[in-house]
């Protein structure tokens, strides 16, 4: 089956792509560029890095811009998926949804309308296990946004490893945060993954934070040999 992946460049969409490729044929990526940094549907930190990630994956990418207005952004998503179905003859769409019923239901509705299969390979998986799998499979993932107490600027740019996972699990116990950011607590950017032919090297970055909200901005980056 030919699949397109809703791809933000974060850990969930990249891991979902990995799972999908184990079973079917991923032929392209679908990326929404939202003007609204607080979009209900779409990841925004370092979304421009998806260009390098697509090159590293050797996959074409459909790009759709959206104002990111609640519910109205779904029409833009539908247009992007319909365009992808026409250009790449996809039979299904892959999402990185883990816990968000809001996102999963809306993508499913669009796929049903367009006659496409909606594949959610991470759905309801244990978040601790998913984080540990990233480390085991040698994904290189950095935290590109924090948006909840007690997370702060010290977390920005940190790579997800066993030690960081332990710290996130401790915060889950103390403050009931979602360790993988399913409540919007963190956003991530993938610099390397098993399917990447090359990895991303960050050349310049800035971090901006206020209290428990901040973003790690990758200003310049390039692909290098692994």
In 3D space, the residue among 23, 96, 9, 107 whose CA is nearest the CA of residue 54 turns out to be 9
Is the confidence at residue 179, as pLDDT, over 80? Answer: yes
Per residue in 97-143, pLDDT (tens digit) is: 998 887 889 999 999 999 999 999 999 999 999 999 999 999 999 99
Is the confidence at residue 147, as pLDDT, over 70? Answer: yes
Q: Determine the pLDDT at residue 69.
A: 77
Q: Determine the pLDDT at residue 182.
A: 85
Task: List all residues 6 or more positions away from 51 whose beta carbon is below 8 Å from its beta carbon.
Answer: 61
CATH topology classification for 2-119: Rossmann fold (3.40.50)
Q: Are 25 and 3 in contact (CB under 8 A)?
A: yes
In 3D space, the residue among 36, 49, 64, 39 whose CA is nearest the CA of residue 184 turns out to be 39
- Domain segments of the chain as ranges: 2-119, 127-224
Q: Determine the pLDDT at residue 101.
A: 82
Instruction: Please give the class, per CATH, of domain 127-224.
Output: alpha beta
Per residue in 68-80, pLDDT (tens digit) is: 777 788 899 999 9
Per residue in 153-173, pLDDT (tens digit) is: 999 999 999 999 999 999 999
């Amino acid at each position: 089956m030919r699949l397109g992946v809703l791809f933000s460049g974060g850990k969930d969409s990249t891991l979902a792509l990995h799972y999908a490729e184990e079973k079917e044929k991923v032929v392209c990526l679908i990326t929404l560029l939202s003007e609204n940094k607080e979009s209900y549907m779409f990841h925004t930190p370092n979304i421009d890095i998806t260009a390098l990630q697509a090159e590293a994956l050797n996959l074409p990418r459909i790009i759709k811009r959206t104002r990111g207005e609640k519910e109205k952004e779904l029409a833009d998503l539908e247009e992007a998926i319909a365009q992808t179905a026409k250009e790449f003859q996809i039979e299904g769409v892959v999402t990185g949804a883990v816990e968000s019923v809001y996102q999963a239901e809306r993508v499913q509705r669009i796929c049903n309308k367009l006659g496409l299969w909606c594949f959610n390979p991470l759905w309801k998986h244990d978040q601790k296990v998913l984080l540990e799998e990233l480390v085991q499979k040698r994904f290189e993932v950095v935290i590109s946004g924090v948006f909840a107490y007690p997370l702060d600027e010290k977390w920005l740019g940190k790579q997800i490893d066993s030690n960081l996972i332990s710290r996130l699990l401790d915060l889950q116990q103390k403050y009931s945060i979602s360790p993988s950011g399913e409540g919007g607590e963190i956003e991530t950017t993938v610099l390397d993954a098993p399917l990447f032919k090359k990895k991303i090297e960050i050349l310049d970055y800035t971090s901006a934070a206020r209290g428990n909200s901040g973003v790690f901005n990758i200003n310049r980056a390039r692909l290098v040999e692994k």
